[in-house]
């Protein structure tokens, strides 16, 4: 553990005393983590959550963009009950973790390494969903000796080639992208997320997750939002937007994947969804490592582990065994 990282224990905050919240929090199969701790990494507080016995085999979970560790509240207990110590964290700007002045893909990778270091020195398996699967690809290439196996849950970006333009024009495009992000950062720096009721936030989220039930989305509000005097609002930093602060291209992560030096299980949900990558089986096959396993769910969307938690858990446990 380096000098910029320290650990402190904390208890999980109770759900606000709101009858609607108490009702929404009773989602079948959902179980809040058994433990919470705070990891201070280079001055930023990261909320780290754990399911399962502290002596169990650790496995690190990374959630997707605009999500939080609570999106594993049904899936993670299935692995915990099988003997694993499931560890996850709210990424910077998400959930109960701190908000940063700037966000970057590399910063998320460094945070993931800090959480991995906090678990212990031994190599362990990791699982990433969506953006979490993307940052895990970069982490594995940086520290392959720390990872034993990798499960990527619909976190394989589709091949989207950058514009075919001259190098000097490409530099202008990058400059426009960076200045545009900074302009967005300046406008959003003083904004707060719009408050609503539990049902209101759930229905707003449903526009991005149309395949997920309103009952599950209401549950997510009780985990990933807070109750203020004027209503419920998501805890996610309003500065964040898809892709974060790069520069980052989907193709960069995709092309790294073929050389991954650890065994990989790739899980794809093939039903299209607004928050998904839009990755097809044919599109990903050329980029898989030689010994990778690919499992597709024809009847499932981007949130495979939420739509089909038992089926995904069974496949993951088989792969880990």
Mean pLDDT of 68-73: 98
Rounded Cα gap, residues 212 and 231, in angstroms: 23
> Do residues 119 and 87 touch, judged by C-beta distance below 8 A?
yes
Rounded Cα gap, residues 246 and 178, in angstroms: 8
For 237, which DSSP code? Answer: -
Report the largest interatomic distance among the alpha carbons of the chain, rounded to a whole angstrom.
Answer: 60
> Quick one: pLDDT at residue 12?
39
What residues have CB less than 8 Å from 219, skipping those under 6 apart?
24, 25, 27, 30, 73
Rounded Cα gap, residues 266 and 293, in angstroms: 6
Global pTM reads: 0.89
Instruction: Note the pLDDT tens digit of each residue in 90-132.
Output: 999 999 999 998 788 899 999 999 999 999 999 999 999 999 9
> Quick one: pLDDT at residue 161?
55
- Secondary structure (3-state) at 234: strand
> Do residues 49 and 87 touch, judged by C-beta distance below 8 A?
yes
Rounded Cα gap, residues 321 and 307, in angstroms: 23
**Domain 5-162+236-320 belongs to what architecture?**
3-Layer(aba) Sandwich (3.40)
* Strand residue runs (E) in the chain: 5-10, 35-41, 44-51, 57-62, 84-89, 124-129, 147-153, 225-228, 231-234, 263-269, 293-297
> Quick one: pLDDT at residue 61?
99
- pLDDT-derived band at 246 (thresholds 50, 70, 90) equals low
> Quick one: pLDDT at residue 50?
98
For residue 181, pLDDT over 60 is answered with yes
Which one, of 110, 122, 10, lies nearest residue 56 by Cα? 122
- pLDDT-derived band at 249 (thresholds 50, 70, 90) equals confident
Mean pLDDT of 264-287: 93
Domain ranges of the chain: 5-162+236-320
- Torsion on CA atoms 169, 174, 179, 181, rounded to nearest 10: 140
> Do residues 34 and 52 touch, judged by C-beta distance below 8 A?
yes
Cis before 247? omega within 30: yes
Mean pLDDT of 30-53: 98
> Quick one: pLDDT at residue 243?
56
> Quick one: pLDDT at residue 49?
98
Strands 35-41 and 44-51: antiparallel
């Amino acid at each position: 553990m380096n000098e910029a990282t320290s650990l402190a224990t904390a208890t999980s905050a109770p759900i606000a005393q709101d009858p609607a919240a108490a009702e929404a929090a009773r989602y079948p199969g959902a179980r809040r983590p058994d433990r919470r701790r705070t990891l201070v990494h280079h001055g930023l507080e990261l909320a780290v959550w754990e399911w399962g016995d502290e002596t169990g085999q650790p496995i690190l979970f990374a959630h997707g963009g605009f999500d939080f560790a609570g999106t594993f509240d049904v899936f993670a207990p299935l692995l915990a009950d099988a003997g694993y110590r499931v560890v996850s964290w709210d990424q910077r700007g998400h959930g109960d973790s701190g908000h940063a002045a700037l966000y970057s893909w590399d910063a998320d990778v460094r945070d993931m390494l800090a959480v991995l270091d906090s678990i212990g020195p031994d190599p362990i398996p990791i699982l990433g969903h969506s953006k979490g699967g993307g940052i895990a690809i970069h982490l594995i290439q940086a520290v392959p000796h720390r990872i034993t196996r990798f499960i990527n849950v619909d976190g394989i970006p589709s091949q989207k080639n950058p514009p075919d333009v001259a190098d000097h024009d490409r530099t202008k495009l990058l400059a426009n992208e960076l200045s545009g992000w900074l302009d967005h950062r300046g406008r959003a720096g003083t904004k707060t997320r719009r408050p609503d009721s539990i049902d209101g936030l759930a229905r707003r989220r449903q526009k991005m997750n149309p395949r997920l039930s309103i009952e599950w989305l209401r549950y997510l509000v009780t985990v990933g939002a807070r109750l203020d005097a004027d209503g419920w609002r998501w805890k996610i930093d309003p500065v964040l937007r898809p892709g974060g602060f790069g520069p980052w291209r989907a193709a960069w992560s995709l092309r790294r994947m073929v050389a991954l030096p650890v065994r990989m299980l790739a899980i794809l949900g093939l039903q299209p969804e607004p928050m998904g990558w839009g990755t097809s089986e044919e599109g990903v096959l050329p980029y898989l490592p030689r010994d990778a396993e690919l499992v597709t769910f024809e009847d499932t969307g981007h949130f495979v582990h939420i739509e089909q938690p038992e089926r995904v858990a069974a496949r993951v446990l088989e792969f880990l065994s």
